[in-house]
Structure 1
């Protein structure tokens, strides 16, 4: 199904620019046609009439939704393997993802980067008078933006958390902190989103708790995770492609966590470096289609790649 057919079905927003560039010759020769170049992955239309696309992960890397001129060799393959594991874990819990069981032939050179995806629309709903898309975030520990908010006397999610909680406080049960999905993620009241999607939130909460318990047996502490929900052609909800991966979650090795060394094994390493280098401010001058030119030490790249490798090895052992 080509991109024009996909658009006609309402499964691709006009706001997302497509490309006329050719993709990998091997895939193009098999009838898969590149139509979108993302920050970290490329999308190809597929032969036939089914509403599906082929996602091919690159080694490109981004943070804070900023496109960077940064590649970490080998990351795409490992990330795809972790994504497949997360989708399988969700499937065993009775939750569908947009990742299909089928794939391109294993003879394709880039097979390990490929995932066949069902084309779906982002979940949208009206919350507090505005139609929004969602990022559904569950947290086991108080850290990051929520800790900063509480420290400054704010209550962005209406959770009424005590103001004297310290960083890395462990919640008795995971808390739910939804945001909008967009150029800037805005906090939403937890109760409003739960009321809107009780079955979805309940299912995701159980999935998050089950995965947290499983990961701990494999030597990984799950700090938090973000789920993105889509709606298929039948109106049923499904999870996106980044399910319980280092792109959507924060993972810390159990042995480090128990020593009080809160060293992430995920993209938080790059986020922390980007904060020091003031990438957000630098990116404000970028024009459409431009990438921020950054200089990332090999040591940082190696830490990220080794973290991804450790996550995959522990989860799938």
Structure 2
């Protein structure tokens, strides 16, 4: 096996297991979460049949670097990175929203705008914008966090009115979202990139504090443009050079799939799978400035199990 499609571990003290779209999450007692980032890939809230080599390692290692680069803004859940595909962290009770923040009109927001919508998640957008235009100021467009099915756009007012997040907590995570996005923007600019949009997730630990959880600033949670060609391509109304999953979404759309009922995922050739893997590695090297070192694909599950067991032993 050269990819991690799914895992079936039974760690000491394990009390729960949850399989997400991309991550396998093991709860250890009431202290730790073991998050294994698989090579599964999803688009339009659908897990695609083929896993992507090294994708999980890319996501896990970018997230680890990004969490460490933002820990002065607020605490995060990270405790240990015992394996290229694993993060062990603090247990938090997650807020039931994902905080999406956008500096440019791209992706889902552009598709909504193109359909004639001028209010997205309660935020007003002006007439006359074109795809990938920079917004006057970053906007927050939250989504509900669905465990099954599609996430849905929601406004700040609805989140508070419906009691999804308490008002005081929501106002705090809004502020954290803006500060994190500014930090991500600054880091991306140093690497010749534009952080177009991204999402953050937050939770509360047993100490009552708000923590940043899950991944941040990865190609699964973020969209990046190349800074040096942005303005010229925009002036010429040409597609932006970007590093994100949008290229995959566009490929799926062109092949008749948007996750709608009755649609079938198109066949992904070995060449398509390799190109997706190459894109993920490219983003890792571009956003971190480090050369990507591929983890061993020999006995992957045995490697992960041994590394996690050793880490849990140290933590106990």
TM-score w.r.t. the length of structure 1 is 0.74
Go from structure 1 to structure 2 and tell me whether the alpha carbon gap of 1:279 and 1:235 turns closer, same or farther (over 3 Å shift).
farther
Unaligned runs of 5+ in 2: 1-5, 161-165, 234-238, 290-316
CA contact (8 A) 1:153 1:163 kept: no
Please state if 1:316 is matched with 2:288.
yes
CA contact (8 A) 2:121 2:154 kept: yes
Go from structure 1 to structure 2 and tell me whether the alpha carbon gap of 1:254 and 1:233 turns closer, same or farther (over 3 Å shift).
same
Residue of structure 2 aligned with 1:95, choices 74, 78, 82: 74
- Structural mapping, 1:14-163, within 5 Å: 23=8, 28=10, 31=12, 35-46=17-28, 49-91=29-71, 93-100=72-79, 102-104=80-82, 111-123=83-95, 133-151=96-114, 152-163=116-127
Go from structure 1 to structure 2 and tell me whether the alpha carbon gap of 1:307 and 1:253 turns closer, same or farther (over 3 Å shift).
farther
Pairwise CA distance, 1:59: 1.3
Unaligned runs of 5+ in 1: 1-20, 105-110, 124-132, 287-291
Pairwise CA distance, 1:218: 0.5
Which whole-Å CA distance do the structure 2 matches of 1:180 and 1:193 have between them?
Answer: 9
Which whole-Å CA distance do the structure 1 matches of 2:33 and 2:222 have between them?
Answer: 24
**Which residue of structure 2 aligns with residue 231 of structure 1?**
204
Higher relative CO (Cα under 8 Å, sequence separation at least 6) belongs to 2
Go from structure 1 to structure 2 and tell me whether the alpha carbon gap of 1:200 and 1:246 turns closer, same or farther (over 3 Å shift).
same
CA contact (8 A) 2:118 2:126 kept: no
Runs of 4+ in 1 over 4 A off after TM superposition: 190-195
**Which residue of structure 2 aligns with residue 10 of structure 1?**
none
**Which residue of structure 2 aligns with residue 212 of structure 1?**
185
Please state if 1:175 is matched with 2:139.
yes
Which whole-Å CA distance do the structure 1 matches of 2:259 and 2:133 have between them?
Answer: 31
- Structural mapping, 1:282-301, within 5 Å: 284=261, 294-301=266-273
TM-score w.r.t. the length of structure 2 is 0.75
Go from structure 1 to structure 2 and tell me whether the alpha carbon gap of 1:32 and 1:72 turns closer, same or farther (over 3 Å shift).
farther
CA contact (8 A) 2:36 2:87 kept: yes
CA contact (8 A) 1:80 1:112 kept: yes
